[in-house]
Structure 1
Amino acid sequence: MIDYSRDDDGVVTLTMNDPAQPANTMTEAYVAAMSAAVDRLHAEREQVTGVIVTSAKKTFFAGGDLPTMYRATRADAPALFKLLSTIKWDLRRLETYGRPVVAAINGAALGGGLEIALACHHRIALDRPDTRIGFPEVTLGLLPGAGGVTRTVRMLGLAPALTTWLLTGRRFRPADALANGLIDQLAATPAELIIQAREWIRANPDAAQPWDRDGYRIRGGLPAAQLPAFPATLRKQLKGASLPAPEKILATAVEGAQVDFDTAQVIETRHLITLLTGRIAKNMIGAFFFDMRAVNGGLARPRVEAPPPRRVAVLGAGMMGAGIAQACAEAGLDVVVRDVTPELAARAAGPGITTTAEVAALAGCDVVIEAVFEDPALKQRVFAEVLPVVAPDALLASNTSTLPITGLAAGVQRPGDFIGMHFFSPVGKMPLLEIVVGEKTSDAAVARAFDLGRLIGKTPIVVNDGRGFFTSRVIGTFLDEALTMLAEGVPAPSIEHAALQAGYPTGPLALADEVSLTLMQRIRRQYEAATGDGFERLPSHELVDAMVDKHERPGRSGGRGFYAYGNGKRGLLWEGLVEMATPAGRAVPLEDLKDRFLFAEALDARRCLDEGVLRTAEDGNVGSILGIGYPAWTGGVLRFAEQHDDFEGRARELAARYGKRFEPA
């Protein structure tokens, strides 16, 4: 896995190149190869003037071996300790070798890859647009355990190491990594990368790590006065949620800063093993590695050939339409945006985007994405206007969040080419795309929509038709549960804090304001009209109607909702909420509030899978985290149910206390 080559100047190049994988990771093959390479370096020390560590892959090093990590159990702890100790010992032997060691980072260096680079005395990164450098471990429920915490703290100081690198999971571009202290130099080309590495070796024959020199102190010292503030700051960042990975990173950094380097390494190893053998890391690795890889790899894409998109028509130049147009243009597609007037269409103007009010300007478009108001008649009308001029086999996509695709397709010619493409706002930031398949949607249309989603950088899940599809339906369940709590007399602050402490990114009442109570009311009334006598009216519906119709509080867009708003900022919860609720007959325990949110969504997601709305569990897990904010620590809405110690029993408990909606199917 590691090629060892020494030139006439005595410079040894260690080139990492795992023959069994497209990227280098910390597999057993890496461990054995690095041990052998370092052994040889020490054996040939008198003939060596310096060392360059680089990669033969497009990336430098991708990090830890996640499949192996995923399988780790508590019984594996002694073996894991030995393995991690070996990895660290070899990197320690490399940095104390007595010769200059340079990391020539020719591509992405994430997690373990960055840890290898930090064990070198100097780091030069190839300045390419796709190169990323960082520690994503916290987003997988882990911590950098091959010396990453220990070295970063000693290199940058406690506060910068934690707040910039270790707790954020950020993946920096090379220039940003240089500005933030973990990269020393940039190179414009692969050849220049190696030239600069050789030059640095010649200029620094006595190179050593700062912490191995006499008189070294951690930059900024140990900020004893600030130490009590670190846990409070972290808790504020986590919004009260208790997540083991960031807590262990903080503990590792603070504890390790107060002892010698080798002891700090042991502390780091022990904390990592605790995370590796725990449930939450497995949940997060399952979602963000296995499920994400399956979804993006086309698990739900029909195995049919599909022509690539070339020219996209976007109907509607509002915020959503403009965002879709920009995403398509940034992917190199020719984009035309149409609205009813040139002035309205111009709202979506940008590089690679043509705006127009003329139907004729859409001639030849092979993809049509409609992003107009959520009105079935309006959507069908705009399709009817453009169908005569676009390509005869154009993909016809509606960006709707709730309206059934089969019903929309009934009013449009060529229903086999008609599909739902539900983007999330803001389009530029939200990574998910929900592809909705109607009764007559063809496999070719699904494949074309999927390929377009991947082309513009989205993670596309594929679901079957139904009111609300998957994401809007399940997040509606979340909001309904919050409003039910409010109607029961649970104090509004308790509802918000319970959701945040469960790991949701936003409180449900704040989210309802963002969605708009008016929109929630309209969607529910559409569903009520379609269902007829079978519709069950809930206390949450009465509450929304009172908010909108009686108190004129439509949500954030109207400046008044569950919260007050001023100068574009959310203020305090509205005092009138106390009077709207039924006086509470009993206090509801915090754990019940948290579980009511988690279980309400998990149970509805299981119904989506049973009913065929969800095609795969992987789509449900990924969609719930990326699209509707289900807590990432769960590994996704369906994995939460699978890994819970007693999901069925706890659901029945909640059903007995709060209603039959919690009865497990």
Structure 2
Amino acid sequence: MINFELDAQGIATLSWDMPGRSQNVINGESCAALFAAIERAVSDPAVKGILMTSAKADFIAGGDLEWLQSADAAPELYARTTALHKALRHLETCGKPVAMALPGTTLGGGLEVALCGHYRVAADKPSARFGLPEVTLGLLPGGGGTQRLPRLIGVQNALPLLLEGKRLKAADALKLGILNAVVAAGTEVQAARDWLLAQTGPVQQPWDTKGYKIPGGAISSPAVQQLIMAANAMLRAKTYGNYPAPEHILSCVYEGLITDLDTGLKTEARYFVHAVLSPQAKNMIRSLFFGMNEANKLAARPAGVDKQRYSRVGILGAGMMGAGIAYVTAKAGITAVLLDTSLEAAERGKDYSRKLLEKQAARGQITPEKAAALLERIVPTTDYAALDGAEMVIEAVFEDRTIKADVTRKSEAVLAPDAIFASNTSTLPITGLAEASARPANFIGLHFFSPVDKMPLVEVIMGKGTSDATLARSLDYIAAVGMTPIVVNDARGFYTSRVFSTYVMEGLQMLKEGVRPALIENAGLQAGMPVGPLALTDEVSAELLVKIEKQTAADLGDAYRPRPGLEVAQRIVALGRIGKKAGQGFYEYPEGGKKSLWQGLAELFPPAAEQPDVDVLVQRLIAVQAVETVRCMEEGVLTTARDVDIGAILGWGFPPFRGGTIGHIHSTGIAAFIGQCEALAQQFGERFQPPALLKTMVEEGRTFYSR
């Protein structure tokens, strides 16, 4: 677990090497081993210096989240936290010099352990990262990070790392003073030994020395006070109070730094326990850590299918979506044949990647040689013969069945019999599109999100005829390009487009009811959504919403029922205000200026004399998405809560602190959510009526997640 070696020169080397794991983590077993190793090194008079390192490629990846979440009671969690604080404090105050040799990535609790060393030397590895990313999972550092880091590098330098969870390269960590040295990989242990052997007397941390002052100013100084106030205001404006962890971090820094370190550690422990036990942290850890890990490890991949290696992939359509797919494909080392109706259009699609690479090169993120090699792998063409040898073709042409059918047939005439044909459609049922295919078993939906180079999600849609082998091989492609898959079954709008649209349509319905536009938008932001429903409608275009409804009406015939909010979209489109791309929609988009709500909305949709409470609007905007999600599960479109929640968070920005649409129901409690929905249905309409699946789950005592 932690190997202990004492050499003839009195250097005790404590080397982390947790068995059965690729990375070291902090949990009950490793803490017990750490505490014992520290006590042995500190109490043994033969030990003159202590060197801590790792036998693995990285130092410590952070805390074991399963172990962390296993503590449901505050007293138990507080005891665990303070025990770690006590042991690390014992290490840094023992008087013996302590050096940390960091062979690679050192994050979270790993960096907190490293900060207890008097000297930190890291290997110069491009992949190594250093930071305290706990806030990204709704947590805060619990091993002293909120106290030692600002005392080491100053409050101004520490806050971005604590509040944003930034991960630094070794050179940047050195520049900030987190590291004392960066050396060639493989020499970090010797560098740490050399420092230890050079020490001739007792060693103290800066914050334990007489006359110590916090770099950049004490917490009580006017400059730092102003910084804390500004950070608090910006945090409130950004999160609307939905995320307690960053607020707790600010409190830890402020309250802890006006006292001594030992008192500050007790402050951190109390806030840490509160964060761990919060529903926000539980939701974020479940979806963003465990759920994401399962999805990225291809938990949905059917067994018994050999892994597909990709060397050539065709992309039909060189618009923004096709160009983005070509970029991520080429970035993965795969040749991307980018086909369009004209060579000029195909070249424009390649230019999309060229511009991205130019920006990366300007920031030093890619070398000219690597950029040139990536561009070389994108082959613009108009000739379907260029698809010969492709293991997969992804069509990203217009949402028109006739066009999609045409490119399907032309592609299959060239492709090998076992090649996969994938459609990037966002709404058209895959089973219907597969009718144009001579091999429907090889036909699948791969719904990417725009911009592809920034949006990590791919919604994989199984048509009725899609084979398990095609699913498995498609998931292999998604893993190859470094994206996260969710798997859904075929239906109109699938999952993400279908549920996402309920958010914008509910906002439009509110406008029809006389709710003031600014109140609608603020309700969306307070709910935790990235933007308000009216602004989002402008982004996707009200015209597109109307077209989709028109197509749905044509397909469903007498079964079609207009959705709430449709009339508002139709009226705004009739005025030519189709959205941001036209420079006018629910908002005005002045050239070079800031967008603002269109003043004409008050005349078009007169505000009611009495405005609703914002909390009711928030509840409506969230509940309408959650209810539609359950309907998708009831209909068999979705099969796992994991994919539901990952899709919601990554696909359209559903609030991570709620854990996803199913996560929201789970943390609310199914019975309580049913009660909310019944009240909303009575006041606002049938769309809020809780699906029978929820009532059945309550009757049977079932939940979506075990914890």
Q: Which TM bucket (shorter chain)?
A: over 0.9
Q: Is the 8 A contact 2:516 2:611 kept in 1?
A: no
2:49 — aligned with what? 50
Match of 1:27 in 2: 27
Give the gaps of 5 or more residues in structure 1. none
Aligned pair 1:237/2:241, yes or no? no
**1:566 Cα deviation (Å)?**
2.8
Alignment match, 2:204:
208
Kept in 2: contact 1:300–1:616 (CA 8 A): no
Cα RMSD (Å) of the superposition?
1.8
Aligned partner letter, 2:690: P
What is the rounded CA distance, in whole Å, between the counterparts of 2:490 and 2:146 in structure 1?
47
C-alpha contact (below 8 Å) 2:302/2:468 kept by paired residues = yes
Taking the aligned partners of 2:249 and 2:48, their CA distance within structure 1 comes to 37
Aligned to 2:438: 413
For 2:311 and 2:555, the matched residues in 1 are separated by: 38
Shift of 1:298: 2.5
Q: Cα–Cα, structure 1 residues 359 and 460, in superposed 2: closer, same or farther, change >3 Å? A: same
Q: Please list the CA deviations of residues 266-319 of structure 1 after superposition, one character each: whole Å capped at 9, or x if unmatched.
A: 000000111122222111111122222222232322113142222111112222
The Cα of 1:599 is off from its aligned counterpart by: 0.6
Q: Is the 8 A contact 1:617 1:638 kept in 2?
A: yes
Counterparts of 1:428 and 1:212, CA distance in 2: 47
* Counterpart residue number, 2:90: 93
The separation in 1 between residues aligned to 2:483 and 2:54, in whole angstroms, is: 29
For 1:4 and 1:567, the matched residues in 2 are separated by 66
Give the AA of the match of 1:198: R
- 8 A Cα contact 1:24 1:60, kept in partner: yes
Output the CA distance in 2 between the equivalents of 1:489 and 1:200. Answer: 71
Q: Which amino acid aligns with 2:42?
A: H
For residues 388 and 86 of structure 1, do their structure 2 counterparts lie closer, same or farther at Cα, with a shift above 3 Å needed? same
Question: Judging changes above 3 Å, is the alpha-carbon distance between structure 1 residues 403 and 220 closer, same or farther for their aligned structure 2 residues?
Answer: same
Q: Is the 8 A contact 2:146 2:268 kept in 1?
A: yes
Q: Do the aligned residues in 2 keep the contact of 1:487 with 1:580 (CA within 8 Å)? A: no
State how far apart, in whole Å, the 2-side matches of 1:268 and 1:351 are: 52
Contact 2:516 2:607 in 1 (8 A): no
Residues 1:64 and 2:88 are matched in the alignment: no
Separation in 2, partners of 1:535, 1:569: 41
Q: Does 1:647 align with 2:646?
A: no
- Label 1:580 to 1:127 Cα distance change in 2 as closer, same or farther (>3 A): farther
The amino acid that maps onto 1:607 is R
CA 1:334–1:149: 2 relative to 1, 3 Å = same
Aligned to 2:315: 314
2:644 to 620, 627, 639: 620
Distance 1:626 1:68, change over 3 A: same
Q: Quick one: which of 92, 99, 104 aligns to 1:102?
A: 99
The one-letter amino acid paired with 1:403 is L
User: Mean alpha-carbon deviation: is it higher for 646-655 or for 349-358?
Assistant: 349-358
- What are the equivalent positions in structure 2 for 1:186-205 lying under 5 Å apart? 186-189=182-185, 191-205=186-200
Using the alignment, how far apart are the partners of 1:421 and 1:264 within structure 2? 50
Give the aligned residue type for 1:650. Answer: Q
Letter of the structure 1 residue corresponding to residue 304 of structure 2: V
CA distance in 1, matches of 2:479, 2:187: 33
Query: Quick one: structure 1 residues 180 and 333, their matched pair in 2 at CA, closer, same or farther if it must change by over 3 Å?
Result: farther
Match of 1:146 among 140, 143, 146: 143
Query: How much does 1:12 deviate?
Result: 2.1
- The residue type equivalent to 2:6 in the other structure is R
**Given the superposition, is the C-alpha separation of residues 611 and 129 from structure 1 closer, same or farther in structure 2, using an over 3 Å criterion?**
farther
Residue 612 of structure 2 is aligned to residue 588 of structure 1: yes
**Residue 461, structure 1, aligned to residue 460, structure 2:** no
TM-aligned CA deviation for residue 181 of structure 1: 3.8
Matched, 1:171 2:167: yes
Distance 1:562 1:441 in 2: 41
Contact map agreement 2:418 2:442 (CA 8 A) in 1: yes
AA partner of residue 501 (structure 1):
Q
Q: Is the 8 A contact 1:72 1:276 kept in 2?
A: no
For residue 561 of structure 1, report the CA deviation from its aligned partner.
1.4
Structure 1 residues 615-646: Cα deviation after superposition (integer angstroms, max 9, x where no partner): 21110011111111111111111021122141
Amino acid at match of 1:651: C
Q: Kindly indicate whether the alpha-carbon contact (under 8 Å) linking 1:241 and 1:503 is maintained by their aligned counterparts in 2.
A: no
Q: 1:176 to 1:435 in 2, by over 3 A?
A: farther
CA contact 1:480–1:540 (8 Å) conserved in 2: yes
CA separation in 2, counterparts of 1:536 and 1:39?
Answer: 72
Where 1:67 maps in the other structure, the secondary structure is helix
SS at match of 1:336: strand
> Which residue in 1 is equivalent to 2:402?
377
Corresponding residue number in structure 2 for 1:84: 81
Distance 1:557 1:26 in 2: 50
Bigger shift: residues 268-277 or 371-380: 371-380
1:494-547 Cα distance to aligned partner (Å, 9 max, x none): 111111111112212111111122222221211111111222224511111111
Per-residue CA shift, 1:390-420, capped at 9, x if unaligned? 2321111111111111111111221111111
Q: Partners of 2:559 and 2:607 in 1: how far apart?
A: 29
Do the aligned residues in 1 keep the contact of 2:326 with 2:336 (CA within 8 Å)?
A: yes
| Residue identity opposite 1:5 in structure 2 | E
Q: Is the 8 A contact 2:506 2:564 kept in 1?
A: no
Given that 1:291 and 1:618 are in contact with CA atoms closer than 8 Å, whether structure 2 keeps it comes out as yes
1:82-133 Cα offsets, whole Å, 9 max, x none, are 2111111111122223233222222222211111111112222333343222
CA distance in 2, matches of 1:568, 1:516: 21
Q: Give the direction of change, closer, same or farther, for the CA distance of 1:569–1:403 in structure 2 (3 Å limit).
A: farther
Alpha-carbon distance in 1 for matches of 2:169, 2:447: 30
Change (3 A) 1:204 1:594: farther
Higher mean alpha-carbon deviation, 582-591 vs 412-421, is at 582-591
Counterpart CA distance in 2 for 1:158 and 1:90 is 25
Within the alignment, does 1:246 sit opposite 2:241 as a pair?
A: no
User: Which residue does 1:339 correspond to in 2?
Assistant: 340
Tell me the residue number matched to 2:294.
294
**Post-superposition offset of 1:583:** 4.0
- Secondary structure of 2:589's partner? strand
Matched with 1:329 is 330
1:125 & 1:391 partners in 2: Cα distance?
Answer: 50
1:34 counterpart letter in structure 2: L
Counterpart of 2:154, as a letter, is G
Report the equivalent of 2:661: 637
Counterpart position of 2:180: 184
Please state how far the C-alpha of 1:200 moved relative to its aligned partner.
3.0
Question: What is the number of equivalent residue pairs in this alignment?
Answer: 658
Query: What residue is the counterpart of 1:471 in the other structure?
Result: 496
Aligned residue in 1 for 2:379:
354
* Structure 1 SS opposite 2:337: strand
TM-score (norm 2): 0.90
What secondary structure does 2:557 align onto?
helix
**Alignment identity in percent?**
45
Cα 1:347–1:175 change in 2 (3 A) is farther
Q: Assess if the C-alpha contact under 8 Å between 1:3 and 1:15 holds in 2.
A: yes
Question: Contact (CA 8 Å) 2:242, 2:657: kept in 1 or not?
Answer: no
Counterpart-to-counterpart distance in 2, 1:130 and 1:455: 19
Residues 42 and 96, structure 2, Cα contact 8 Å, conserved in 1: no
Q: Residue 48 of structure 1: CA displacement?
A: 3.0
Does the 8 A contact of 1:70 with 1:285 survive in 2? no
Instruction: Tell me how far 1:570 sits from its aligned partner.
Output: 4.7
Equivalent in 543, 561, 567 of residue 585 of structure 2: 561
Contact 2:461/2:487 (8 A) holds in 1: yes
Question: Which amino acid in the other structure matches residue 168 of structure 1?
Answer: E
Q: 1:180 to 1:426 in 2, by over 3 A?
A: farther
Is 1:133 aligned with 2:130? yes
Aligned amino acid, residue 461 of structure 2: V
Task: Identify the residue that residue 482 of structure 1 maps to in structure 2.
Answer: 507
What is residue 274 of structure 1 aligned with on the other side?
A: 274
Question: Using a 3 Å threshold, how does the CA distance of structure 1 residues 66 and 373 change in structure 2: closer, same or farther?
Answer: same
Instruction: Report the counterpart of residue 461 of structure 2 in structure 1.
Output: 436
Indicate how the Cα distance of structure 1 residues 254 and 579 shifts in structure 2: closer, same or farther if over 3 A, else same: same
Give 1:569 shift.
5.8
DSSP-derived class of the 1:410 partner = helix
Amino acid at match of 1:656: Q
